[in-house]
Amino acid sequence: MNTMILATKNAGKLREVREIFPELTILSMTEIGLDPEIIEDGTTFAENALIKARAVHAALGENPEGYAVIADDSGIEIDYMDKAPGVYSSRYLGEDTPYTYKNQVILDNLKDAGPGQRTCRYVAAIAVVLADGQELVTEEACEGEIAYSPAGEGGFGYDPIFYVPMYGKNMAELTPDEKNRISHRGKALRRMRACLQAGKSW
Ligand code: IMP
């Protein structure tokens, strides 16, 4: 079993999961013709990741290929905004609102926040549902700060305003390898790889 279905329509996530799991064939649910209604009404990243993975696992039905399903639920917690938008990160200010606008609103919200008040983190929960229904979840965070201005063209979403102290750059200025090495998603996916290998389920 070296094919997993990724329960997402987010092209940025799909690209990063493929980069971090080069040993697997990762197909998006769209690529295999699935588009189940997924109601993300969990209150934690882990709950929402499981909701997505279970929904796509159910939509696979008989699943003769024995596909496992993998889902990522992630977001940004900004301490100055009481940890918002958190699990609502993709819906913040509207699902289809451009990130140039969302990022500018966050910069404006933090205009009076000085050094030490700009801390934030990305969080990612990864859920896997194996063909036999067995479920695994991992979660990791990546600490950073809200920058004073956007920079960089890489990554996606909030990356232009997410300052990474270790690199002295914003996330969108990092190469894919640099981002994946330290990102919430990179760490949670590598932990998932270790869980899957330990369980010898595949
Ligand atoms: P989800 O699809 O409900 O898990 O929403 C995830 C949202 O969190 C994304 O649409 C982005 O807004 C944000 N997000 C998660 N991970 C990242 C990242 O690595 N870079 C930038 N934004 C991210």
Residue recorded with tokens 């990522």: 72
* CATH top class, domain 3-198: alpha beta
Residue recorded with tokens 């900004």: 78
The pLDDT, as a whole number, for residue 51 is 98
Mean pLDDT (whole number) for 157-163: 98
Neighbours of 180 (CB within 10 A): 18
CA 175: distance to chain centroid? 17
Please give the single-letter amino acid code of residue 41.
D
The pLDDT, as a whole number, for residue 130 is 96
Q: Is 99 in the pocket of ligand 1 (CB under 6 A)?
A: no
Provide CB contacts within 8 A for 102, sequence distance 6+.
92, 93, 158
62 Cα to the center of ligand 1, angstroms: 31
The domain spans of the chain are: 3-198
Residues 118/146, Cβ–Cβ less than 8 Å: yes
Q: Whose CA is nearest to atom 14 of ligand 1?
A: 75
Cut 0.85: pTM above it: yes
145 Cα to the center of ligand 1, angstroms: 16
Mean pLDDT (whole number) for 61-77: 96
Q: Is 45 in the pocket of ligand 1 (CB under 6 A)?
A: no
As a whole number of angstroms, the distance between CA 136 and CA 133 comes to 10
Residues 9/30, Cβ–Cβ less than 8 Å: yes
pLDDT digits over 21-68, tens only?
999 999 999 999 999 999 999 999 999 999 999 999 999 999 999 999
Q: Whose CA is nearest to atom 22 of ligand 1?
A: 157
64 Cα to the center of ligand 1, angstroms: 32
Q: List, by residue number, the catalytic residues.
A: 73
Residue 69 pLDDT greater than 70, yes or no = yes
Q: What angle do CA 128, 40, 43 make, to 5 degrees?
A: 90
- Angstrom CA distances, 173 to 19, 36, 113, 183, stand at 17, 35, 23, 13
Q: What are the start-end ranges of the E strands in the chain?
A: 3-6, 25-28, 68-78, 84-85, 119-129, 135-146, 162-164, 169-170
Residue 201 pLDDT greater than 60, yes or no = no
The pLDDT, as a whole number, for residue 1 is 59
Residue 176 pLDDT greater than 50, yes or no = yes
pLDDT digits over 125-150, tens only?
999 999 999 999 999 999 999 999 99
pLDDT digits over 79-109, tens only?
999 999 999 999 999 999 999 999 999 999 9
The pLDDT, as a whole number, for residue 202 is 44
Mutational test site, ligand 1, from 16, 29, 76, 189, max ligand atoms within 8 Å of CB: 76
